[in-house]
Every structure is written in C-alpha cells, then in structure tokens.
Amino acid sequence: MAMRVKKQLEHWLDLPKGSLTGESRLEIYAGRMAVMDGRCAVLTCEEDVVRLRTAGGVLCFRGRELRLSAFSANGATVEGRLCAVEFE
Amino acid sequence: MSAAVEWTAEGGLLSEFLNQLQAADISLKRVRPHGDCLVGIVSAVDYRRVRPAARRTGTRVRIRRKRGMAFRLYRLRKRIGLVIGAVGAIALLLFFSTRIWAIVPSGLEQAETERALAVVADMGVAIGHPIHTLKPKEISIRALSQLNSVIALTINMDGCIAHVDMVADNTNHPLSQDITLSDLVATRDGLIVQTEIWQGTRLVKVGEGVTAGTLLASGATETTAGPLLGRAEGVVIARTERTLSVEVPLKQQHWQATGAPFTQTTLSLFSLPIPLSAQVALPSAYTQTVDRDFLTLDGLPLPLGICRRQITPLLPITVLYKPAEAEKMAAEQLAQQEQEELGEAVIEDKTISGKLVDGVYRVTAHYVCLENIAREVPVTVVKP
C-alpha cells in the first residue's frame, strides 16, 4: 500500500522514478561502468560475469576484466569492458 | 591519513562472503577476481570486522598490502628522532610565522626609503619583530609626523611580509591641497615692487613697505551677498635686504683615516648576527661602510645573508690654514649659502666684506634683491 502511494506521489510530483520508492536504479556509462543504486547481493563475481541479485531480479553483467569497483549497502559499481546486461 | 588494507580471500563461499560484508555495513572497493581468489580493498578500521564474516563463510582472508600514511607512520613509531624532528619543525614553523621576515618598501627613492624604514623600524616594523604587537594604523600616523617628505604611508601585512607603501610629497605647494581657507602674509621686510594676486583680495600696493607678518592678500572676497571665504594665491615681489655671513677658523680640527681599514663579516640568520670573522675592538672614532648581501626569492629579501662592515679608524688632526686659504674657503661657503638661500631671488646689489678677527676669517655679504615674500598660511574660521 505504502509503495503504491509513493509511486503515485512520484507520478504526481514528476519526480525521478525510484526517488521515493527506493527501487534499484541502473546507470551505464559508455560500456565501461555500470552503477547500481539500491540494495543488492553478489551471486557471482568473475572476470567475465558478475551477477547481482536485486529487488527486480537477478542482474547479470557480461564482459571482460570485470570487477566490483565499489560494493556497499547503498549499491554496487561494476567496471570493465561490458558486453551485455541482462535480467535472468 | 586514511589507511586501507588490500585483502585476498580464497576458499569457501566467496559471493556470500561479500554479501556478509555488505550486511555488516562494510564498504568494499576494487573487488576483482584474481585466479581462484577475490582481491579487494577495505578501510583499516573495517578490516577487523572482515574476519567474522570470513569465518562464517569458510573463507580464508589474508592481508595483501597495507596502504596509507597511518601505516607508514606506525612503522616509524620507534624512531624518536623523526618524531622530535617533526614536532620541532612544526614548532619552528609556528614560531617563525608570528614574526616579520621581510620588509618590502615602495613609493620613494632609495635615500628617502632608507630614512623612512629607519623611522618605522623604531616603531616595530623590523625584521624579527612579532607581528601580533604591531599596530599598523598607529605606526602610519606616528611615522607620517616624522617624515616631512611623505604624504601617505600604509603598512600592510601579508603573512610574514610587511609591505610599507609610501607616497612622496611631490607638490611644491607649501600647503596641503585640502586646505580651503588661506591668506597671504609677508615672510620678511621689504618694499613691494610688483603684485600678482590670482585669487583673493589684494591688501597692499606697489611702492608700499611691509614688515614680516604683514597681511598681503586675504582669502575673503567681498560680494553683494557678503564676504566669500576662500584661498588667497599669488606672488608679491618685494625689494629686500639680506645679510649672509660665513666664518672660517684658521685652526681647524679634522678627522683623518689612519691605519689600514678592516672588515667585519657577520652572517645574519633570522635577524640573529653570527660573527664570521675575528671580533676586533672598535677604535674610538671610525667610519664604516656596510655592504649587505642577502638571499632573495622572487625579488623578496630573505632573512638570511652576509653583512660586511668595512671600518676605517680615524684620528683627529689639527690643520692650520693661511688667511688666503681661509678667504678662499669662506668665499666657496658663501657662494653655497647664497645659492641655498637666495637661489630664487634676483640679486640687484651685493657688497662683500671680509676680515680676520681672533683667528677666524669672517665674510659678511649684504644683498639687495628682488624676491617673492608672499607665503600662504591657513585660516581657521571660528563660528560664534
């Protein structure tokens, strides 16, 4: 119920999506860096694949020389040569 | 000063290990796979909390590298000399930053600058003097009262540098430009031959005799609405009589250099003089020339340099002049005095007489000349 009200408020006030609900947000910078804003958990951390579990599902980054340049309770940042981002 | 630890984790559930750290609110940086291990960076403060998470997930964590100034300082903790040196350096820095170490004058010529700096040095603007006791505004006012050739003087502190900015009095006008009321008075007795009053009311006529202090022109101008007060300006040429005299004793005492001059060298280090040569007792009378060679940085003098004093001992000698020599010297001195006192006057007649009295050759010159005797004096209006 509260989530629905927050979503309505976001809509009425024309706020960015997720600013009130706290839903995960993903920003990708030119295939070199992806910033995940919101709580997530690491499922896999390898050189060619990084999988993160988010509220919206499992997010999989594929590429080369991948690494978690930042990982905290507020989100995660994946850096490297990103080839694909997909929800599993 | 932030310290960080680069760690290596291997074995167990590596992904779960990361999640456990996240749950413990530990921020991780640069987590990357390295063979079968994970490598990452965590702050030194958080590293203690990494081990419980590692135990729970069966992961073995090792320190790969320690980063940051705190670890470097910790390694040097037993080197007392370094600690003392660091503390001493900070103490010296704090001490030196409270004193004047450079004085940068501007606005005057060399000779006047040295004189002005000597005046302000007596008031505290000197190398090595504490800054917090300085009162720049008060010093400016006091220094201006002693420096007649300076009309403005400000002292601005820029860290340890004292900027002494001065403005020379280039105006020939005897009065300040901000005076609004003045009269013209006679500086000496004379017979007026020409008047030219540019401003104010003329009170004397050509052919009139005046004494010193006579009002020649008033700054007040009569108008239909009453007197209008202002400045009186102009030139009043008068025929005056002047007498100059010079005395030259036939027996005079002079100082003559005796012996070889010697040099005393000192190293000036933060205003502290350190002698570099043998300190010889100074003679009772001497002349000295001082040569200062100080280091500069971007034109700014530093408080470190060499000071050389060349001292020439003097001895008094008695010289006996012949009357002809004394007469010649008296004539030269009279010409010099005439140039100084009557340089701007037109000499119409000159009578010179000289005689030798009691071993002193005295020359007296009587002049009749034309000169400007008007001097502008400020007037203060007292309201009833």
pLDDT score at A58:
92
* pLDDT band (50, 70, 90) for residue B179: low
C-alpha separations of B80 from B25, B76, B150, B321 in Å: 38, 8, 55, 77
pLDDT score at B384:
61
Which of A58, A72, A78, A79 would you mutate first to test chain B, the one with the most B CBs within 10 A? A72
ipTM of predicted complex: 0.79
* pLDDT band (50, 70, 90) for residue B171: low
Cα-only R_g, chain A: 14
Lowest mean pLDDT among A2-6, A41-45, B43-47, B112-116: A2-6
In chain A, whose CA is at the least distance from the CA of B21? Answer: A72
Please tell me what DSSP assigns to residue B130.
B
What domain count does chain A have?
A: 1
Residue B8 has pLDDT above 90, yes or no: yes
Tell me whether B299 touches chain A (CB under 8 Å): no
Contact: A72, B15; criterion CB under 8 Å: no
Chain A CB contacts of B25 under 8 Å are: 72-73
Instruction: Give the tokens for residue A12.
Output: 């009425």
pLDDT score at B178:
58
Q: In a 10 Å sphere around its CB, with 0-12 CB exposed, 13-18 middle and 19+ buried, how is residue B314 labelled?
A: middle
Residue B61's closest CA among B3, B4, B17, B2?
A: B17
Chain B CB contacts of A73 under 8 Å are: 22-23, 25
| Alpha-carbon gap, residue B105 to B299, rounded angstroms | 12
Contact: B28, A44; criterion CB under 8 Å: no
Chain A CB contacts of B22 under 8 Å are: 41-42, 71-73
For residue A42, being part of any structural domain is answered with yes
What sign does the CA torsion over A52, A54, A58, A61 have?
A: negative
User: B319 and B254 in contact (C-beta within 8 Å)?
Assistant: yes
For residue A58, being part of any structural domain is answered with yes
> The domain spanning residue A73 has which CATH number?
2.60.40.2000
Tell me the residues of chain B between 28 and 67 that have a Cβ less than 8 Å away from chain A: 28-33, 38, 40
Where residue B160 falls (left for φ over 0; alpha for ψ -120 to 50; beta otherwise) is alpha
Residue A24's closest CA among A41, A11, A9, A8?
A: A41
| Alpha-carbon gap, residue B230 to A47, rounded angstroms | 94
Please tell me what DSSP assigns to residue B271.
T
In chain A, what percentage of residues exceed pLDDT 70? 99
Residue B234 has pLDDT above 70, yes or no: yes
Chain B CB contacts of A46 under 8 Å are: 33
For residue A29, being part of any structural domain is answered with yes
For residue A1, being part of any structural domain is answered with no
User: B24 and A71 in contact (C-beta within 8 Å)?
Assistant: no
* pLDDT band (50, 70, 90) for residue B383: low
For residue A5, being part of any structural domain is answered with no
In chain B, what percentage of residues exceed pLDDT 90? 38
| Alpha-carbon gap, residue B132 to A51, rounded angstroms | 64
pLDDT score at A64:
92
| Alpha-carbon gap, residue B219 to B197, rounded angstroms | 10
Residue A49 has pLDDT above 90, yes or no: yes
pLDDT score at A60:
94
Residue B280 has pLDDT above 70, yes or no: yes
Contact: B27, A72; criterion CB under 8 Å: yes
Task: Residue A49: give the domain boundaries.
Answer: 25-87
For residue A7, being part of any structural domain is answered with no
Tell me whether A42 touches chain B (CB under 8 Å): yes
Select the residue of B14, B28, B33 nearest A71 (Cβ to Cβ): B28
